Chain A
Amino acid sequence: MSSTTFPPPTARARTWRKPSVLPGFALTFGTTIGWLSLIVLIPIATIFLKAAGMGWRHFLEVGFSDRALAAYRLSFGTAAAAGLVNAVFGLLVAWVLVRYAFPGKKVVSALVDLPFALPTAVAGIALTALYSPNGWIGQFLDPLGIKVAFTPLGITIALVFIGLPFVVRSVEPVLADLGKDVEEAAATLGASRSQTFARVIFPAIGPALLTGFAMAFARGVGEYGSVIFISGNMPGKTEIAPLLIVTQLEQYAYEGATAIAVVMMLVSFGILLAINALQAAGRRRMGA
């Protein structure tokens, strides 16, 4: 770092990265790639290798068994339902936080991040305590014939809890950025408030809302801690896919666990790619 010379500029120009006066590229880039490979890339590659070693037929057999299919249906179904609930209420919460003034707003805004900060197991037992038939809320629902705990409805509620901040936090900045002036412009052009919302505001925040939904959905599909307490874990009925992986592992059925994990990861990566494409498209359209 104290040497005063470096290779001739002509030699530098041929390197694959652009030269910079700032030091430390080799050190930091090396650390990044090394650590990333060690902790993330190689371990993830292992599971795909393991799956590839199973053979196509066996992979399909255990990866798409009736029990696995039921688990996927439940995981994807409840995650989608929770995502939709969050899209609606997350937008509402973001709107209220950005646009209106009310006492305690800062506290409310901080509370939105609770699901990020609260350990999932804690959320899981708390929700179960609330919604079990003799729980705080469950005792009122039970006489009405509404069963929450140990049903898909309970799983959905847990996933609503987990996914809410994703929607709020992705919509909020876009909504705040969307200047009042475009709404004022719409108003001067004669648009009613609902027309302004439907034709000006909603299209502008649509991509962010979709991103938030996708993130909440992806998180919901993989969620474990907050769900297993409230779900009841009945195979074929209330057994989510991550739990099925754990069950397989406990029975030393490593191939079954691997196959299900690979199916879930491929879906997750697909969603991740879709989110990235969506954001890129949104950026291009907004010209940012």
Chain B
Amino acid sequence: MIKVQNITKRFGDFAALHGIDLEIEDGEFVALLGPSGSGKTTLLRIIAGLEFQDGGEVYFGGEDVSRLKVADRHVGFVFQQYALFRHMTVAENVAFGLSVKKRRDRPSKAEIRARADELLRLVQLEGLGARYPGQLSGGQRQRVALARALAIEPKLLLLDEPFGALDAKVRKDLRRWLRDLHKQMGLTSIFVTHDQEEALELADRVVVMDHGKIEQVGTPEEIYMNPRTAFVSHFVGETNRVAGEGGEVHFRPHDVDVVEEGGETVLVDNVFRKGGAWRVEGALVETGLLVEFDMDAALAPPATGTEVRIAPRRSRLFNPA
């Protein structure tokens, strides 16, 4: 179990993290989700031992590792830009962690080579061991970085924006592949992302962060369906925000019914097809606030300039902070 207790971190006048508490079970796949500047990468680096907290502790399986160097924490870290050693071949990169072990702990050359080959097979890069990182595609480099991190048999795998540097198609394939790999290996893993779709699709649990604080921790389902704060509701998934009695009312575009009577009147501004539905953009007649909602694609779309009455099926009220 990984436990983070009351972690604080400042960069000069900027409070990057205040009082973070988090527990992660063995074998879990956890996403740290938040906008840039939310402190998610700083938290990941503190867990790895690449950054030092100003206060608080980090425990690996009950052991306080706060004062352990990164080399002694046995974490696998995958860097956002991969940080592959350009002058080493792919196989040498993967074997690096084993080849720098102290002589008495170091496996023989043959064993190291066998282990590197095995890992390259695992990340589906068999036969590319003799290449240099510069000769690989972005997705391949990502997998080399992963194999390299796994070579030291880490207790914990940490990934900083693992798909950030890839284009959309490769990103989707790799995502699925990584999820399968995690299922297969069962290694406790934490990854940082600013992409809510990525977090919801991959993680067992999502930690939503903003301004150095944890906003909510929960399964993707909980985060999406029961956002606890206005920030989470707004940041994860699409959300309409309108003023209501006693606060802000949030509702998802797909949680809207078109009704004959009651509800709110919307002046339709634009209609287009989005996935299997019509996406309608318009403004509430009463307040002028902009809203978006989905309509059954089987129905005829409303024309621009017409008025439609809507009623949210599900909505949440958030008190002003």
Contact = CB atoms under 8 A, between A and B. Distances in A.
A9 B50 CA distance: 13
Nearest to A13: B54
A28 interface: no
Contacts of A13: 10, 52, 54
B52 A19 contact: yes
Contacts of B66: 9
Contacts of A5: 67-68
Contacts of B55: 9-10
Contact of A21 (B53, B67, B69): B69
Contacts of B72: 4
Contacts of A12: 52
Contacts of A18: 11
A6 interface: yes
Contact of B68 (A4, A8, A10, A19): A4
A9 B67 CA distance: 7
Contact of A10 (B49, B50, B51, B54): B54
A9 B69 contact: no
Interface in A183-206: none
Interface string B28-56: 00000000000000000000011111110
B53 A6 contact: no
Interface residues of A, number: 11
Interface residues of B, number: 15
Contacts of B24: none
B70 interface: yes
A90 to B, nearest CB: 35
Interface string B1-35: 00000000011000000000000000000000000
Interface in B219-277: none
Nearest to B7: A9
A19 B9 CA distance: 12
A21 B72 CA distance: 12
B54 A6 contact: no
Contacts of B68: 4-5
Nearest to A12: B52
A6 B67 contact: yes
A9 B49 contact: no
Nearest to A5: B67
B54 A9 contact: yes
Contacts of A4: 68-69, 72
Interface of B: 10-11, 49-55, 66-70, 72
Given A10-B54, A21-B52, 8 more contacts: A4-B68, A4-B72, A5-B68, A8-B67, A10-B55, A13-B10, A13-B52, A21-B50
Interface of A: 4-6, 8-10, 12-13, 18-19, 21
26 contacts: A4-B68, A4-B69, A4-B72, A5-B67, A5-B68, A6-B67, A6-B69, A8-B67, A9-B52, A9-B53, A9-B54, A9-B55, A9-B66, A10-B54, A10-B55, A12-B52, A13-B10, A13-B54, A18-B11, A19-B52, A21-B49, A21-B50, A21-B51, A21-B52, A21-B69, A21-B70
**Which 8 pairs across A and B sit closest by C-beta, in order of nearness?**
A19-B52, A13-B54, A9-B52, A4-B72, A5-B67, A21-B70, A21-B50, A9-B53
